[in-house]
Amino acid sequence: MEKRRLGISDIYITPILMGTWQAGKRLWVGIEDADSIKAIRAAYEAGITTIDTAEVYGNGHSEQIVAEALSDVRSHVEYATKVFANHLKYDQVMTACENSLKNLKTDYIDLYQIHWPSGSFNSEHVPIEETMRALSDLKQQGKIRAIGVSNFSCQQLEEAAKYERIDSLQPPYSLFWRYVEKDAVPYCVANQISIIAYSPLAQGLLTGKFAPGHKFDADDNRIDNKLFQGENFERAHQALEKLQPIAQQHNCTLAQLAIAWLIAQPQSHAIVGARYAEQVTANAAAATVKLSDAELLQIDTIGRIVTDHLDENPVMWDWKSDWSKKTV
């Protein structure tokens, strides 16, 4: 899989990344460590060498599983992890990074990201200058190689970039969730900031495997996903029916088509999670699906069956006040 440059750094990442939120187990049903390890290893063997995780995914458990799967090939992979919104004071960032280094069994992190902006979910407000000073010091110390932000608006991204080079933005982004295109994409393109999309399959909705009326387990985080609710869910199925013939023309799945569309967007990469090794292998194959300009436009138009009816809230989940939900 041909790698792409991360921002203007000297790091190169794969267009498809392995997402490991599910490996943390919390808020996921039926996850087994052995399956997660096999899936992460399968990603590496399929050419996906960039792995995305976070300290908050199972309180470090996801990071530990990543290390167990890949420590023997550490020099051939790129680790991206994140510091959570409640750890953004200078000393907290430094401690969080040390914990992530320990969990990942490594002496450097390729991409270290602010997971959510300060103040998110009633966390303490910390000046971005203080957080960026910590990240800059970590970079100078060689403990991190590049800095990214996640779930930041364009305004927040611009403010952070005043203090240190930002090489990536990680937003929720898929054919069915495209708020970032109106907000931060133009700025990222102009400033050579890589867009690393999470939930590129809209948490599985774009696979077509969830029938109308599907009900999630009460412990499944997708129960709060707006795309699985009411008319949004109905419109998604209308769009999926129109996407199916295009997928058939390319002899690919709906999921592969959605990933291929996303990584064809300007400077965009896709973080795709998976429970099982066979799912990872299928996801990796999306990199071989080549869409014409006409097909990209056609897919774009179909996606708007869903997105034209969404509000301007950039958060995909209809969360209440439960802190445990705030983990993506």
Q: Is residue 115 part of a domain?
A: yes
Range of the domain at 189: 4-204+255-289
Full 3-state SS string of 38-100: HHHHHHHHCCCCEEECCCCCCCCHHHHHHHHHHHHHHHHCEEEEEECHHHCCHHHHHHHHHHH
Average pLDDT over residues 145-166: 98
Give the SS3 label for residue 23. Answer: helix
Is pLDDT of 314 > 60? yes
CATH number of 268's domain: 3.20.20.100
Gap between the Cα atoms of 55 and 64, Å rounded: 10
For residue 110, what pLDDT is reported?
98
Read off the amino acid at residue 325.
Answer: K
For residue 324, what pLDDT is reported?
44
Question: How many residues does this entry show for the chain?
Answer: 328
Gap between the Cα atoms of 235 and 304, Å rounded: 10
Q: Is residue 219 part of a domain?
A: no
Gap between the Cα atoms of 187 and 189, Å rounded: 5
| Catalytic residue, candidates 12, 44, 57, 90 | 57
Gap between the Cα atoms of 87 and 96, Å rounded: 7
Contact present, 110 and 78 (Cβ < 8 Å): yes
| Res. 313 pLDDT band, cuts 50 70 90 | confident
Is pLDDT of 323 > 50? no
Gap between the Cα atoms of 196 and 230, Å rounded: 28
Provide the domain count of the chain: 1
Gap between the Cα atoms of 97 and 271, Å rounded: 21
Q: Is residue 22 part of a domain?
A: yes
217-248 tens-digit pLDDT: 877 778 888 999 889 999 999 999 999 999 99
Is pLDDT of 309 > 70? yes
Q: Is residue 108 part of a domain?
A: yes
Which long-range contacts (C-beta less than 8 Å, at least 24 apart) are formed by 59-63?
59/24, 59/26, 60/99, 60/100, 60/103, 61/23, 61/24, 61/25, 61/26, 62/20, 62/21, 62/23, 62/24, 63/100, 63/103, 63/104
In the chain, % of residues over pLDDT 90? 87
Q: Is residue 117 part of a domain?
A: yes
| Mean pLDDT (the chain, rounded) | 94
Q: Which helix (H) or strand (E) holds 18?
A: strand 16-19
| Res. 266 pLDDT band, cuts 50 70 90 | very high
Q: Is residue 194 part of a domain?
A: yes
For residue 219, what pLDDT is reported?
73
Q: Is residue 94 part of a domain?
A: yes
Active site residue 57: yes
For residue 327, what pLDDT is reported?
54
Strand 12-13 relative to strand 4-5, pairing: antiparallel
Average pLDDT over residues 250-277: 97
177-224 tens-digit pLDDT: 999 999 999 999 999 999 999 999 998 999 999 988 788 887 777 888
Q: Is residue 313 part of a domain?
A: no
Average pLDDT over residues 61-75: 98
Is pLDDT of 18 > 90? yes
22-50 tens-digit pLDDT: 999 887 888 999 999 999 999 999 999 99
- Dihedral sign, CA of 70, 71, 76, 80? positive
Gap between the Cα atoms of 110 and 11, Å rounded: 8
Is pLDDT of 82 > 80? yes
